[in-house]
Copies of this chain bind each other. A is one copy, B any other.
Amino acid sequence: MQSRSPASRTGRPRSATADAAILAATREALVELGWSKLTLGDVATRAGVAKTTLYRRWAGKNELVVDAVAELFDELELPDRGSLAADIEGVVLQFAAILALPEARSGLMAVVAEATRDEALRERIRASVVDRQKRLVLEGRARAQDRGELPPEPDSASADRTVDLIFDMVAGAVVHRTLVSAEPADEEWVRSFTRVLLHGLGG
């Protein structure tokens, strides 16, 4: 999450529970107030922690919210459901369920918006959220290739590009459906989406 000075053996150690309390308080405040009305002073109060403790560990609101939201996505899994279509539908539904949480909705787009002007924040999001979940695409493709549902990749550069493309298409569609169009990504929608993704508009 946040780095501490590596060579610090002396002095009072940081409270281990404070981190968890702060991130939980951040999510709670996101639910109640949303990103723009969330204040670090309020988060500190909710966490039962001093404002300085919070500033000692995170550089600001953006970094804190990224960490608080990133934890939500770590529970995503790709259980083997027997076919590529079923696998995709399963993980997309999980993803949609997380995006239905107010703490994710409010926080995620806000930090993405901030990241358009902040390279370091963009990198933090990529590391904490995006790259961490690309594993799902990799795993799903490998499984589908084992099953013979997808052909092997001709070369690794092309393979990487395809992973990125699929990730952008899946995540983008779900996010846009959920947050911009503001419609639920329910089972019916997910089935339609998966059909188009696998077989194209003509199918």
Contact mask for chain A residues 67-104; partner B; CB cutoff 8 A; 1 contact, 0 none: 00000000000000000000000000000000000100
Contact mask for chain A residues 187-200; partner B; CB cutoff 8 A; 1 contact, 0 none: 00100110011111
Q: With A164-B181, A165-B189, A166-B201 in contact, is A34–B114 under 8 Å at CB?
A: yes
Q: Would you call A192 and B113 a contact (CB within 8 A)?
A: no
- Tell me which residues across on chain B come within 8 A of A196, comparing CB atoms: 165-166, 169, 197, 200
A29 at the interface (CB under 8 A from B): no
Choose, from A1-9, A14-22, A40-48, A122-130, the stretch at the interface. Answer: A122-130
Copies of this protein, total: 4
A180 at the interface (CB under 8 A from B): yes
Instruction: Give A12 to B164 CA distance when docked, in angstroms.
Output: 52
Q: With A130-B181, A173-B169, A175-B176 in contact, is A113–B109 under 8 Å at CB?
A: yes
Q: Would you call B112 and A179 a contact (CB within 8 A)?
A: yes
- Tell me which residues across on chain B come within 8 A of A150, comparing CB atoms: 201-202
Instruction: Give A164 to B126 CA distance when docked, in angstroms.
Output: 28
A interface, CB within 8 angstroms of B: 34-36, 102, 105-106, 108-110, 112-117, 122, 125-126, 130, 149-150, 161-162, 164-169, 171-177, 179-183, 189, 192-193, 196-203
Besides the contacts A168-B176, A199-B200, what 8 more A-B pairs have beta carbons closer than 8 Å? Answer: A34-B114, A106-B116, A106-B117, A109-B109, A169-B173, A172-B180, A200-B200, A200-B203
Q: List 10 A-B contacts (CB under 8 A).
A: A34-B116, A109-B110, A116-B179, A130-B181, A162-B192, A165-B192, A169-B176, A169-B193, A175-B175, A197-B201
